[in-house]
Structure 1
Amino acid sequence: MDREVLLAEVLRHLAEGTAEAGHEIALAAADADEGDPAAHGLAALASFWLGDFAEATAQAATGLAAAQDDRARAACLAAAVLAAAGDLDARPPDRALLSRLLADADEPGSRWWSAVRYLAAEAALVSARIGEAAVLDDAGPPAGAAWAGHPFAPIMWVCQARIAAFSGRIEQAQAMLAAVRASVVPGSRVAPVAEAVAVLVQGNAGDAEVGLVAEQIARNVPSVPRDFIDRGALLLLAFGAIAVYDVAAAAALVFRAGADEALSRCTLIDRALAFETLLHAALLAEDPDAVAVWLGTLADLAAHPVTRPSVQRARGRAALDAGDAATAIDLLTRSVEGCLAEDRGVEAAEGQILLARARIQQHELGTASRTLRALVAGSDRTGHAAVRRAAGAVLAASGRRLPPVAGAGWDVLSEREAEVARAVLAGLEVDQIAARLFLSPSTVRAHVSRVLCAFGVATRVGLLAAVGGAGGAGGAGAAGAPAGARLSPRQAEVAEHVAAGRTNQQIAELLGISVKGVEKHVGDVLLRWEAGSRFEIARIWWAGSAGSAG
């Protein structure tokens, strides 16, 4: 059988849930007279799909030893790396050689090389080397595009979304969901895993409603998972549940995904994350015997470089629960460092949340607060909103709060902050607000800074512009100005720009006049409107706009 025809046939079997048949035809091609060594690599892929990692390692090694050309060599190497992701006893394959073979590919956009590049990226991803997976995936055109129309293409698109999601780049992952869904035939066998990756992404984006969606998707997965796709769908749903801290739901999904109590058909990283989930559930249930059981299962994975950071985090979680903050800090610090080194963004964030809890337990609230603020600032930029919720809960327990989401407006303000915002908009100064609300001036200033951050502005004039603009008011107005204080057309233009928060330099450029000219017009408006500041000009202007809009 032609090599590329065989590849397409094996991938079809993997997508359709008949990996055993794919394994058989690959072995037949390998054992035929003048058999193709690349077929051993495809047999290894099918074995991996079925969770038989030792067989996958053996087949990949056989093919690699016999390979005579770069295409066969690369396919067998990619399969070997993939197999090692689940085989605790596998020797480390030559990943550097695989990268060189991919870089030197004669037709990088061909179906063969696109599939091999997907396998290499998938292998790096399921080995929790997420930065490496991203580099491999970016090394050529999207594999899913090269295989458009083939039933396996959605799995290739799902891989890209998973790379972005597990790195913590949630906005990027959300953007990829359209390509994932567009590649799926509704009702097809791969549809649940495509929707499961959306649950993972949306859970990390802070959507607390993913649980209901996850329940519906899980019903479409066989009660006994057949292969990598079924197990993957259930585990993605579990990790989505973890993102919204539904630990009980995640634990139930983990048990479904595992073929036995050792989760032996799952990859090493999935075993570690699953056992950590079960440990977390046992800690929440205050079940010390179960805690000991899951710590024992994690011990077998503690030394492996792929799973070491996850095991350290799980042990740190247990130490934290036991009140041993010093041990927790040591374990969690090493875990976070290991995760960051491999761009394991979601795992690193969870470790940093736990590390902050441990520091608070050691009465290092200031350090914990600063660390969480920095973490949230970064996660906000990538759309990883679940981090903000988790960090906020940790600080709230200690009487502190995170800065609001910049630009989110009224919705993220507390009742007191909203009260301060209304007082600012009414023209009150800090001392006046403090007297009215029975607060210290320093407390008022802290509230004002949070208000300005919530509206994404640096000044009180900017706040007026943000609130006025949000209200839908338009057109210059001066309903709040003294009677008879009409402005000239040019003065009205300048007043409108002041109200929008623009500087004299910006106004000069917009109107094509000198800065000195703008200063004169601003001075005239101050006199005519009996205003004491630019803020008063803005307040009068927005009051007039609100009136004219009504």
Structure 2
Amino acid sequence: MDRDTLLDEVLAHLAEGTPEAARDASLAAAYDGGDPAAYGLAALADFWLGDFADATRNATAGLAVAEDDRARGLCLAAAALAAGGDIAAPAVDHDALARLLAAADEPSSRWWSAVRYVAAEAALVGARIRDAAQIDGGGPPPGAAWAGHPFATIMWVCQARIAAFSGRIGPAEEILPAVRASVIPGTRLEPVVESVAVLVRGNAGDEETTRLAAEIAAYVPAVPRDFIDSGALLLLSYGAIALYDVRGAAALAFRAGSDEALSRCTLIDRAICFEMFLHAALLEQDEGAVGAWLEALAEIDGHPITTPTVQRARARVALAAGEAQAAIDLLVPSVEACVADERGVEAAEGRVMLGRARILSQDLGAASREFRALVTETDRSGHGSVRRAATAALAASGRRLPPVAGAGWEALSAREAEVARAILAGQEVAEIAASLFLSPRTVRSHVSRVLCAFGVATRVGLLAVVGGTSAASGVSGVSGAAPAAPARAATLSPRQSEVAALVAAGRTNQQIAGELGISVKGVEKHVGDVLLRWNAGSRFELARIWWSLA
């Protein structure tokens, strides 16, 4: 069997759930045909089965006899993949692998696309997410080169996972259509695709994630057969933990592991799951379980992949014990290491915990700054679950995060919504303060949050976004609202009507001049005339009258 045919057959077996057949075929080709690349394919099958030490041995055997770049590239990528699960694996020459990929004779061929996938998967399971993104982006998407083959879906899933675990949730969502389009209907990969969607949606803050995770898990075998089955369960677990469904996430993670040590899971998955189990034990105040999971974490500590996660897990114990400084000392290097490797989801969780530690140490200013900076970044990337976690952490200190710009009414508290309705009713700060029994300073703070929530800088802009119908419907619930606009306002000239409509839409005089092709002084005169004809005291009142008549 030639090399390309063997690759096709091995990947088909891995996609279809028969990795033992993939390993047997690869070893037969290695022993009988003498192709060094076959050892790399055997190592890939070993990894799929969770036999990480065997994967290391076969990849090493292939490297020892490989004479061409294609064989060396595959065996190096397979060795790097095996090292993601084999804590005793020797160091892998990642630079040599990068050089081989860069010098590939046919970078868009199926062979080199497959090697690039294995290398990207290796970087991902090795928690080197920055490297994974660079490798994956080093050529056309591997899934495109393998279009029509069942394994193409796994390649697209890898791309989505890289984006999601880096914290780039928006880009991860954009990849999902390609992932779904690659699935061959009726195959075992359909639950995997929906599992990665749960991972993405959970980190986006979608509350439906927990229900969906339970539904999708029912389609995964009770006893996972390989990397695909256990991976689907872990993705569902990580989607659930993003929304702090700790118990549900832990149950899914236990299903993914073959034993209490999760010995067939990669090192990063073992570390994250042990942290998850520890978190559950802390919530239940089960000291015996806490000790057991700390011991499990200690067994995999000291490795570059696991150390940042272990530090964060130990910080959880310190926080539970009220030891703020000990938690900070653990979290700072953990976050720095995660940021360096673009482990975005882990970095965000560490920063949330760091904020909690600052609150515990009574450094509320630093905590507030930490959370504000964090949500500013994660809102931009679509990582919505972070805002939920940060909001909950800050609530205990009586402080709040700024609302999501442009999120509208849903971003407002009940009191802020009252202030918004009062603004729309035409009340000034002093009137709102009196009617709601607040200080003017507090009202001004609420006004800024209301404007931010609607993504506008002025009250006229707020009217323009909310519109006449919403404004009118909101007025009735406000005590002491300003009188409604006159039922019969003075008729305007056609030009005055155009100017009034643009003022109500939030345009400045300069913008109106540009749109109508007249001078700014001409706009100022028209605005002044409308104010007089409608007996309005400000542009805001003019806008209110316009919306009431619109």
**TM-score, normalised by the number of residues in structure 2:** 0.96
Distance between the aligned counterparts of 1:464 and 1:198, measured in 2?
Answer: 37
Q: What aligned pairs does 1:314-463 form with structure 2 within 5 A after superposition? A: 314-463=313-462
Aligned-partner Cα distance in 2 for 1:436–1:191: 57
Query: In structure 2, what is the equivalent of residue 548 of structure 1?
Result: none
Cα offset for 1:540? 1.1
Matches within 5 A, 1:53-452: 53-452=52-451
- Per-residue CA deviations over 1:479-518 (Å, capped at 9, x if unaligned) read 9358562211101101111111111111111001111111
Query: Hey, what's the Cα distance between the residues in 2 that align with 1:386 and 1:195?
Result: 19
Distance in structure 1 (CA, Å) of the matches to 2:101 and 2:231: 26
Instruction: Write the distance in 2 (CA, Å) between the matches of 1:223 and 1:406.
Output: 44
Q: Tell me the equivalent position of 1:476.
A: none
The answer as to whether partners of 1:109 and 1:140 remain within 8 angstroms in 2 is: yes
Aligned length, in residue pairs: 539
Give the RMSD, CA atoms, in angstroms.
Answer: 1.4
Change (3 A) 1:543 1:271: same
The answer (yes or no) to whether the contact 2:463–2:471 under 8 Å persists in 1 is no
* Residue matched to 2:503: 498
What are the Cα deviations for residues 23-60 of structure 1, in whole angstroms up to 9, with x where unaligned?
A: 01111111124x11111110110111111111111111
* Offset at residue 234 of structure 1 (A): 1.0
Q: How many Å separate the matches in 1 of 2:401 and 2:469?
A: 24
Q: Distance in 1 between matches of 2:451 and 2:495?
A: 30
Q: Which amino acid aligns with 2:59?
A: A
**Partner amino acid, structure 2, of 1:246:** D
The CA distance in 2 between the partners of 1:464 and 1:222, in whole Å, is: 54
Report the Cα distance in structure 2 between the residues aligned to 1:146 and 1:352, rounded to whole angstroms.
39
Displacement of 1:429 in angstroms is 1.2
SS of residue paired to 2:140: coil
Query: Is 1:8 equivalent to 2:8 in the alignment?
Result: yes
Once residues 414 and 227 of structure 2 are traced to their aligned partners in structure 1, the CA distance between those partners, rounded to angstroms, is 49
After superposition, the C-alpha distances for 1:314-358 in whole angstroms (9 at most, x for unaligned) are 000111011111100110111111111111111111111111111
Structure 1 position 469, deviation (Å): 6.4
Matched residues in 2 for 1:250 and 1:448: separation?
39
Q: Does 1:533 align with 2:538?
A: yes
Go from structure 1 to structure 2 and tell me whether the alpha carbon gap of 1:503 and 1:294 turns closer, same or farther (over 3 Å shift).
same
Whole-angstrom CA distance in 2 between matches of 1:286 and 1:187 = 44
- Unmatched 5+ residue regions in structure 1? 474-478, 546-550
- Residues 316 and 329 of structure 1 are in contact (CA less than 8 Å); yes or no, is this contact kept in structure 2? yes
From 507, 514, 523, the counterpart of 1:509: 514
What CA distance in whole angstroms lies between the structure 1 residues aligned with 2:488 and 2:343? Answer: 64
SS in 2 for 1:252: helix
State whether residues 462 and 500 of structure 1, in contact with CA within 8 Å, keep that contact through their aligned partners in structure 2: yes
| C-alpha deviation, 1:94, in angstroms | 0.6
Q: Offset at 1:11? A: 0.5
User: In 2, distance between residues paired with 1:192 and 1:526?
Assistant: 62
Q: Distance in 2 between matches of 1:512 and 1:520?
A: 15
- Does the CA-based 8 Å contact 1:312-1:331 persist in structure 2? yes
In 1, are the aligned partners of 2:205 and 2:243 still within 8 Å (CA)? yes
CA–CA distance in 1 between the matches of 2:470 and 2:422?
Answer: 17
Q: Name the counterpart of 2:490.
A: 485
Q: Which residue identity lines up with residue 10 of structure 1 in the other structure? A: V
Question: In 2 relative to 1, CA 531–472 (structure 1 residues): closer, same or farther, beyond 3 Å?
Answer: closer
For the 8 Å contact 2:238–2:249, the answer to whether it is kept is yes
Contact 1:482-1:529 at 8 Å conserved across structures: no
Write the distance in 2 (CA, Å) between the matches of 1:61 and 1:416: 65
Quote how far apart the aligned CAs of 1:471 are: 4.4
Letter in 2 for 1:257: A
Go from structure 1 to structure 2 and tell me whether the alpha carbon gap of 1:484 and 1:270 turns closer, same or farther (over 3 Å shift).
closer
- Counterparts of 1:531 and 1:301 in 2: how far apart (Å)? 72
Give how far 1:400 is off: 1.6
Gaps of 5+ in 2: 473-483
Q: CA 1:521–1:49 in 2, change beyond 3 Å: closer, same or farther?
A: same
Letter in 2 for 1:191: E
The alpha carbon displacement at 1:10 in A equals 0.5
Further displaced range: 101-110 or 407-416: 407-416
Conserved? CA contact 2:379–2:387, under 8 Å? yes
> Judging changes above 3 Å, is the alpha-carbon distance between structure 1 residues 464 and 286 closer, same or farther for their aligned structure 2 residues?
same
AA matched with 1:535: F
Cα 1:472–1:172 shift into 2, 3 Å: farther
- Residues 1:442 and 1:98: Cα distance change in structure 2 (over 3 Å): same
What corresponds to 2:478 in structure 1? none
Contact 1:482 1:530 in 2 (8 A): no
Per the TM alignment, residue 75 of structure 1 is displaced from its structure 2 partner at its CA by: 0.5
Following TM superposition, by how much is the alpha carbon of 1:186 offset from its aligned partner in structure 2, in angstroms?
A: 2.9
User: What are the superposed Cα offsets for residues 402-423 of structure 1, whole Å, 9 maximum, x if unpaired?
Assistant: 1111111112211211111111
Quick one: distance in 2 between partners of 1:211 and 1:465?
A: 37
* Equivalent position of 2:480 in the other structure: none
Q: Is the 8 A contact 2:421 2:471 kept in 1?
A: no
Give, in whole Å, the separation in 2 of the partners of 1:306 and 1:106: 32
Cα deviation 1:50-74 (Å, max 9, x = unaligned):
1111111111111112111111110
TM-score by length of structure 1 reads: 0.96
Is the CA contact 1:325–1:359 (under 8 Å) kept in the aligned structure 2?
A: yes
Tell which deviates more after alignment, 371-380 or 118-127: 371-380
Asked if 1 retains the 8 angstrom alpha-carbon contact of 2:489 and 2:534, the reply is: no
